[in-house]
Amino acid sequence: MYGKVTMRDVFVYLLSGLAFLIALISADYNWCLSNRYLFASIFKGNTAVITFAILTVLYFAGHIIHSLDTVLYGVAKVVWKRKKSSKGMYFFYFIIAGHRVSGNINLRNKRSEFIEQTYNELELLSKSKHSEYFYIMNDLFKGLTLIALLFVGYTLKDFRIVACFIYLSLLLLFWYRARYYANSFIDTVESTRAALDRIGLQNIKDK
């Protein structure tokens, strides 16, 4: 259990916080460059303490980013329950939730309870390694998608068209990759369960 928490901490929250910092530096590169000596003086003689503090801040920044992502999905769920018969609202849900595991379960008309139960069973059987990887990577790219979206708005506010185009391109790439991992998670859970069922049935026949 603790190993899994550590994987999520590093590959989801910490990397999301680091990605946000990199995006912030690239968006305000001139300001960071003009204050480079100030940053160097802060690090001087306090490298270990400052590094630990930065990692802590990045970790919690990752949590904040994914909390915002959860709030955004909450809005999409309300829309899905009330207006899923509307083509416009279906498209809205596809954009907001089409890169999420739960969103793809709905879009593919699958039962979320069945997928969750099956995944839990695979965990108990220690057969969830591949599906767990896809789930963690989906979480990471959901965070990157939201970060790109935030900086699309940030650069658009100042009419920095080139930077806005770059972040928009990253947004589309991250969204697509998150969607790939979401579908891969669902498919892997189902295929692993089916394979185990076939093996179990074959063992019964052999007996």
pLDDT reading at 68 higher than 90:
yes
Residue in this structure with the two tokens 């669902």, named with its chain if needed = 186
Residue in this structure with the two tokens 């509307």, named with its chain if needed = 86
Q: Are 134 and 181 in contact (CB under 8 A)?
A: yes
Nearest Cα to Cα of residue 73 among 184, 182, 169: 182
Task: Of 43-47, 93-97, 139-143, 159-163, give the range with the top mean pLDDT.
Answer: 139-143
pTM over the 0.75 mark: yes
Residue in this structure with the two tokens 């915002």, named with its chain if needed = 68
Q: pLDDT-based confidence at 2, cuts 50/70/90?
A: very low
Q: Between 184 and 79, name the one with better pLDDT.
A: 184
pLDDT in tens, 136-172: 999 999 999 999 999 999 998 888 899 899 999 999 9
Residues 6+ apart with CB under 8 A from 151: 23, 27, 163, 167
